[in-house]
Structure 1
Amino acid sequence: MTNYTKEELEEAHRAIISTIGKCEKAMLKLKENSAQHTLLSRRIKAFRISVELIERAKAHYLPF
């Protein structure tokens, strides 16, 4: 596995949080239950999982 610095984790965290916000904004324009809405919903969930994992890694600073 690759080792990441704490700074790299923090930058990735900021970028993903920003992307989640943009996705949520875009989702408002999509028809519910459409393929695009479902896909974006799943991506947001994946990004939130990523954020949680990054936060855990930062808390313990266990390089990957």
Structure 2
Amino acid sequence: MGKYTKEELVEALRPISSIISKCEKGQLKFAEGTSHHSRFKNIIKAMHISKSLITNEISSMG
């Protein structure tokens, strides 16, 4: 990454956590195997990956 400040990266974690939470709540409204449930599952997975990458970058900054 390199072009973002530590503060910007920390600030980016809040909306990612919010998206994860909202998608988990939305996912509960649909049966497993439905397209909506799968879509939420994929979004949640992508947000967890994003959160992990940002957290790792923050950690490497010291």
TM-score over 0.5 for the alignment? yes
**Structure 1 runs of 4+ off > 3 angstroms?**
none
Match for residue 17 of structure 1?
17
TM-score between both structures, scaled by the size of structure 2: 0.90
Match for residue 6 of structure 1?
6
Higher share of residues assigned helix: 2
Segments of 5+ residues of structure 1 without an aligned counterpart are none
TM-score between both structures, scaled by the size of structure 1: 0.87
Structure 1 vs Structure 2 CA RMSD: 1.6
Tell which has more relative contact order, 1 or 2 (C-alpha 8 A, sep 6+). Answer: 1
Q: 1:57 to 1:2 in 2, by over 3 A?
A: closer
Segments of 5+ residues of structure 2 without an aligned counterpart are none
